[in-house]
């Protein structure tokens, strides 16, 4: 069984069988280097940090404040010191400084295997079109990525934060087929400014088409990166409404689109 619980934004609790994975964990009130300014949550984290199940693996896609949060990393590292933290190149030093003990840095197309007490998980860092920065002078000094993870029964793609790019077909060819695709659909207006770093819903559906493979395959789509922080100009409900309309117009199975409420869990039987 494969299940997903949307905590908010790009933070999802994935359960592959008995293995628990957390993506881009972010529990702070603001996505900002300071506590008194910057984008503030519209919706509180849907699950209390202290009530999470034991986390085996945490995936980090890049170092922006809405995806890599110091307070959250410190709390998780203290609460669950055995977590295996997977991050793109350049972020291990920062994660270790915040208390993470078991950190693996990976370049695009590198893969690793994580043994846990309840099974083994494979993970591959794959390309994304985005950038890394936490200040004015460090742009591009650390890598950004998407992730593909799987156990013996299921395979998940977590795209983190990305614009539309030409590598989606290659990702599918090298690491598919997939049971669940987690694609960002929000923070896309104005397009002249955001199109190089964030997908809008039509681009996310195009990426879905390329990641899903043959016409006979229809993995679940879990849209992320919307409805939690106001980062750009579009209305908060526009991304899911637009995505649902495009999905319906394409004739896809309605049950395969997981537009989750914050805190909602859904499961799917896998191979």
Q: Which two tokens stand for residue 131?
A: 């950038």
Helices (H), the chain: 70-79, 92-97, 168-175, 191-194, 201-212, 238-249
Binned average pLDDT, 10 residues per bin, the chain of 271 residues: 96 97 97 84 94 97 96 98 98 98 98 91 97 80 96 95 97 96 97 96 98 85 97 95 98 97 93 63
How close are the terminal C-alpha atoms of the chain, in Å?
9
Going across the sheet that includes 265-268, the strands are 102-106, 84-88, 57-59, 19-23, 11-16, 2-8, 265-268
Cα angle: 135, vertex 128, 69; to 5 degrees:
40
Residues 219, 247: contact at Cβ < 8 Å?
A: no
Could you tell me the pTM of the whole model? Answer: 0.95
Residue ranges of domains in the chain, CATH in brackets: 2-268 (3.60.15.10)
My answer on whether omega of the bond before 190 falls inside 30° of 0, hence cis, is yes
My answer on whether omega of the bond before 177 falls inside 30° of 0, hence cis, is yes
- Counting Cα atoms < 13 Å in the Cβ hemisphere of 125 gives 19
- Give the C-alpha distances (Å, rounded to integers) separating 94 from 10, 20, 127, 212: 20, 23, 21, 35
Q: DSSP string covering 22-68, please?
A: EES---SSBSSSSSSSS-BBSS--SS-GGGPPPP-EEE-----TTT-
Residue with tokens 């309309």: 245
CA-CA distance, 252 to 259, in Å (whole number)? 14
Give me the pLDDT at residue 50, please. 94
């Amino acid at each position: 069984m494969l299940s997903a619980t949307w905590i908010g934004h790009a933070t999802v609790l994935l359960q592959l069988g008995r293995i628990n994975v957390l993506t881009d964990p972010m529990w702070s009130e603001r996505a900002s280097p300071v506590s008194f300014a910057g984008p503030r949550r519209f919706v509180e984290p849907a699950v209390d940090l202290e009530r999470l199940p034991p986390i085996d693996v945490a995936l980090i896609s890049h170092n922006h404040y809405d995806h890599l949060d110091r307070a959250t990393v410190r709390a998780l590292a203290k609460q669950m010191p055995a977590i295996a933290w997977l991050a793109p190149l350049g972020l291990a030093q920062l994660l270790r400084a915040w208390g993470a003990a078991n950190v693996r840095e990976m370049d695009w197309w590198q893969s690793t295997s994580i043994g846990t007490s309840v099974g083994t998980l494979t993970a591959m860092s794959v390309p994304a079109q985005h950038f890394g920065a936490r200040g004015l002078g460090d742009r591009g000094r650390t890598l950004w990525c998407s992730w593909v993870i799987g156990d013996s029964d299921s395979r998940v793609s977590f795209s983190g934060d990305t614009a539309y790019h030409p590598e989606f077909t290659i990702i599918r060819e090298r690491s598919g087929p997939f049971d669940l695709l987690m694609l960002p659909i929000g923070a896309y207006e104005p397009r002249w400014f955001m199109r190089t770093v964030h997908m809008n819903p039509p681009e996310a559906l195009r990426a879905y088409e390329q990641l899903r493979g043959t016409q006979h395959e229809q993995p679940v789509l879990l849209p992320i990166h919307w409805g939690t922080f106001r980062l750009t100009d579009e209305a908060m409900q526009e991304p899911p409404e637009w995505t649902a309309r495009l999905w319906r117009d394409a004739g896809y199975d309605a049950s395969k689109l997981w537009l989750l409420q914050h805190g909602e869990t859904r499961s799917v039987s896998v191979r």
